[in-house]
């Protein structure tokens, strides 16, 4: 005869608990930086095509981001053999095209020559006529006429990476504004813009996690695996405090035999969580109550005067009181309904 499960049974025989991680985005991000979740690689996109096989985190329309640029001025028409170099690619002016790559035709006047140069940089109309058909559009910049005798060079990708694109010239009648040697004025997307785009990209691409906002600089990643499987998490972001709390998702448990009435979870506080001032504990049900016990790394009980906050299936334990937890302290959360 089957016996009725006791409260203790229902506590021990629990359903799976999802693994989790925390991604902190506290600084601006750059084009081509990546976030990797398991086998899926996400790459920030601000206007230049992402690496093949990677998933774009689209920041091309981020209001704060600005593409680096520079103005070049033609004082008079060029002469045969003059060169204008951007990002290491030298464009050569020719009275007669030889067929070599990156040549543009010397026009009848300054404006015609400038327009031919713009066509070459952009891979525009006139291949084989105003520039050689062996040429391809510049991989890193575009060009646009800005006046009768000037051209504006703009990085394809927004952000400060474009400020490193080099400039040179060997043409007596052409010069870069301020005798510049690189593009300038590029601005990266902000942390807030990046955070919103990351959440959108992760949730749209079945990356093994559900991403939600956990605070101003915090993204909570909750695993979607039915048995709490852990996934590796890495990033190439170089900005200050743009980091994962851990190198892999943590806290997951395998499926048991009964839906929990009460669940106890414990883990040590991470340094990133101390910096954020909050720990998050996702459950596989929506708790209606929660309690917290705090122990030091040596096992001694510590005082904590905060109140656990419940939002959906997540219990948050903050450091807003006068008695705080520290990295390495053990936080024990009992939650149920």
pLDDT score for 15: 56
Please report whether residue 52 resides in a domain: no
Q: Is residue 157's pLDDT more than 60?
A: yes
Q: How many C-alpha atoms does 74 have within 13 Å on its Cβ side?
A: 28
Please report whether residue 34 resides in a domain: no
SS3 category, 241 = coil
Mean residue pLDDT across the chain: 90
* Tokens (6 digits) for 187: 């601005």
Domain boundary residue among 154, 179, 204? 179
Q: In terms of domains, do 79 and 146 share one? A: yes
pLDDT score for 199: 97
209 or 252, which is more confident: 209
Q: Could you give the angle at the alpha carbon of 108 between the alpha carbons of 107 and 112, nearest 5°?
A: 50
Please report whether residue 222 resides in a domain: no
Q: CA–CA separation, 244 vs 234, rounded Å? A: 7
Q: CA–CA separation, 193 vs 144, rounded Å? A: 28
* Tokens (6 digits) for 62: 């981020």
Which range is least confidently modeled, 206-215, 252-261, 309-318?
252-261
pLDDT score for 304: 83
Q: In terms of domains, do 76 and 138 share one? A: yes
pLDDT score for 2: 40
Q: In terms of domains, do 78 and 169 share one? A: yes
Domain boundary residue among 179, 194, 211? 179
Q: What are phi and psi of 67, to 5 degrees?
A: -80, 140
Hunting for tokens 């903050």 — which residue is that?
A: 318
pLDDT score for 283: 86
Q: In terms of domains, do 258 and 173 share one? A: no
Please report whether residue 165 resides in a domain: yes
Please report whether residue 59 resides in a domain: no
Give the rounded distance of the alpha carbon of 311 from its chain centre: 26
Please report whether residue 204 resides in a domain: no
Which DSSP string do the residues of 123-187 spell out, in sequence order? T-S-BTTTB-TT----SSEEEEEEETTEEEEEEEEEBGGGGG-BEEEE-TTEEEGGG-SB-B--B
pLDDT score for 119: 98
Task: List beta partners, residue 20.
Answer: 222, 250
Which range is least confidently modeled, 5-19, 60-74, 89-103?
5-19
- Identify the helix (H) or strand (E) that includes residue 114: helix 110-122
Nearest Cα neighbor of 270 from 24, 12, 10, 4 is 24
Q: In terms of domains, do 9 and 85 share one? A: no
Q: Is residue 296's pLDDT more than 60?
A: yes
What does each C-alpha distance from 244 to 106, 220, 221 come to in angstroms? 54, 10, 10
Q: CA–CA separation, 286 vs 289, rounded Å? A: 9
Q: In terms of domains, do 81 and 159 share one? A: yes
Q: Is residue 79's pLDDT more than 90?
A: yes
pLDDT score for 16: 64
Which DSSP string do the residues of 23-75 spell out, in sequence order? EE--S---TT-EEEETTEEEEEESSSPPPTTPEEEE-TT-SS-BEEEEEEEES
pLDDT score for 13: 43
Q: CA–CA separation, 161 vs 167, rounded Å? A: 14
Q: In terms of domains, do 265 and 167 share one? A: no
Please report whether residue 227 resides in a domain: no
291 or 321, which is more confident: 291
pTM over 0.85: no
Q: CA–CA separation, 8 vs 255, rounded Å? A: 17
Q: What is the mean pLDDT of the segment spanning 227-239?
A: 91
pLDDT tier, 228 (very low <50, low <70, confident <90, very high otherwise): confident
Q: Are 166 and 61 in contact, with CB atoms under 8 Å apart? A: no
pLDDT score for 10: 43
Domain interval for residue 102: 67-179
SS3 category, 334 = strand
Hunting for tokens 């998933």 — which residue is that?
A: 55
Q: CA–CA separation, 310 vs 127, rounded Å? A: 63
* Tokens (6 digits) for 157: 């990708």
Please report whether residue 49 resides in a domain: no
Q: How many domains does the chain have?
A: 2
Q: In terms of domains, do 151 and 90 share one? A: yes
Domain boundary residue among 160, 179, 198? 179
């Amino acid at each position: 005869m089957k016996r009725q499960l006791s409260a203790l049974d229902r506590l021990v025989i629990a359903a799976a608990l999802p693994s989790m991680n925390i991604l902190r985005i506290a600084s601006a991000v750059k084009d081509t930086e990546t976030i990797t979740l398991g086998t899926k690689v996400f790459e920030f996109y601000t206007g230049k095509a992402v690496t093949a096989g990677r998933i774009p985190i689209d920041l091309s329309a981020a209001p704060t981001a600005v593409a680096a640029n520079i103005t070049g001025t033609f004082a008079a028409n060029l002469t045969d053999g003059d060169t204008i170099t951007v990002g290491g690619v030298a464009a050569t002016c020719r009275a007669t095209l030889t067929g070599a790559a990156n040549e543009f035709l010397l026009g009848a006047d300054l404006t015609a020559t400038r327009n031919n140069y713009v066509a070459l940089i952009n891979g525009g109309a006139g291949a084989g006529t105003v520039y050689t058909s062996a040429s391809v559009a510049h991989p890193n910049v575009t060009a646009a006429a800005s006046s009768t005798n000037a051209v504006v060079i703009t990085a394809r990708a927004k952000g400060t990476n474009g400020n490193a694109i080099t400039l040179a010239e060997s043409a007596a009648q052409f010069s870069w504004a301020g005798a510049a040697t690189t593009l300038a004025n590029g601005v990266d997307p902000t942390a807030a813009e990046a955070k919103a785009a990351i959440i959108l990209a992760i949730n749209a691409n079945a990356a093994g996690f559900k991403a939600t906002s956990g605070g101003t600089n915090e993204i909570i990643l909750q695993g979607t695996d039915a048995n709490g499987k852990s996934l590796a998490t890495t990033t190439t972001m170089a900005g200050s405090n743009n980091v994962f709390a851990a190198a892999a998702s943590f806290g997951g448990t395998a499926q048991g035999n009964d839906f929990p009435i009460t669940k106890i979870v414990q883990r040590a506080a991470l340094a990133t969580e101390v910096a954020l001032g909050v720990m998050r504990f996702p459950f596989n049900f929506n708790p209606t109550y929660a309690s917290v016990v705090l122990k030091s790394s040596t096992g001694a009980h510590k005082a904590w005067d905060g109140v656990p906050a419940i939002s959906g299936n997540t219990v948050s334990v903050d450091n807003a009181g006068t008695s705080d937890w520290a990295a390495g302290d053990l936080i024990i959360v009992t939650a149920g309904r």
